Amino acid sequence: MQRNANDVKVGKFPFTANAKARILGESGGLVKIVSEKKYDEVLGMHIVGPRATELIAEGCSALELEATAESIAKTIHAHPTLSEAMMEAAEDVAGHSIHQ
């Protein structure tokens, strides 16, 4: 099924606002989550930045389990970790990210 821009929501979170990335001195990049507007199902994500290969597994699990951005946002993510960027991007899908 082909979708257009009106069918999706996007949330982004920059690593410059992530405590662990700043601790590592590697704060370039971001996490972006694209979800379906009607049901909030995650359609895909972009991860560019420190240890991106370590974060891909969470994205793959979300896609395989047909997760919603809300379910990712409500999942506990330890602090300080790079994976918090996934949670914050998911929060941003709904306009609720607080650490931009």
Whether 77 is in a domain gets the answer: yes
Whether 20 is in a domain gets the answer: yes
Domain that holds residue 43: 5-93
What's the confidence (pLDDT) of residue 92? 97
CB-CB contact of 21 with 15 (8 Å):
yes
* Count of domains for the chain: 1
Whether 29 is in a domain gets the answer: yes
79 is annotated as an active-site residue: yes
**Which residue in 46, 77, 79, 99 is the catalytic one?**
79
The two structure tokens encoding residue 68? 């919603």
**CATH code of residue 9:** 3.30.390.30
49: left (phi over 0), alpha (psi -120 to 50) or beta: left
Q: How far is CA 96 from the centre of its chain?
A: 13
What's the confidence (pLDDT) of residue 6? 84
Whether 83 is in a domain gets the answer: yes
The two structure tokens encoding residue 63? 């896609």
What's the confidence (pLDDT) of residue 8? 96
Q: For the chain, list residues with pLDDT below 50.
A: none
Handedness of CA 58, 59, 64, 68 (dihedral sign): positive
What's the confidence (pLDDT) of residue 76? 96
Whether 99 is in a domain gets the answer: no
